[in-house]
Amino acid sequence: MNKQARALRRQMTEAEKVMWNKLRDRRLDGVKFKRQRPIAGYIVDFVALDLKRVVEIDGGQHAERAVQDAARTKVLEESGYHVVRFWNHDVLGNIEGVLEALIQELNISR
């Protein structure tokens, strides 16, 4: 799974690249994020391990995969993580709104 995670880090979507640029190096509220990390049998887009927050950036294909995404979220939540999802078009078109929503989610856990 680590090889797959490394490959995903090299092949990030445009929305993931935009989000990573805002999250890396503790740029968002001083929180340390990692990208494309294996957790509970899944590779998550971004994770704040200390806060147990997973951030998923979903493209259009996820609209058709609601059942699979719900199962994935359930497993992650059973492992102690809170999952926050954003759509690609929101990240690309309203990154400031996405970041504000994420900061609110992060403050819940402090």
Give pLDDT tens digits for 34-75: 999 999 999 999 999 999 999 999 986 655 677 888 999 999
Q: Residue 44's beta-bridge partner residues?
A: 37
Question: Does the predicted TM-score (pTM) go above 0.85?
Answer: yes
Q: What is the CATH number of the domain that holds 74?
A: 3.40.960.10
pLDDT > 50? residue 110: no
Domain span at residue 71 reads: 2-108
Give pLDDT tens digits for 5-22: 566 667 789 999 999 999
Q: Exposure string (b/e) for 14-23, b if CB count within 10 Å is 16 or more? A: ebbebbbeeb
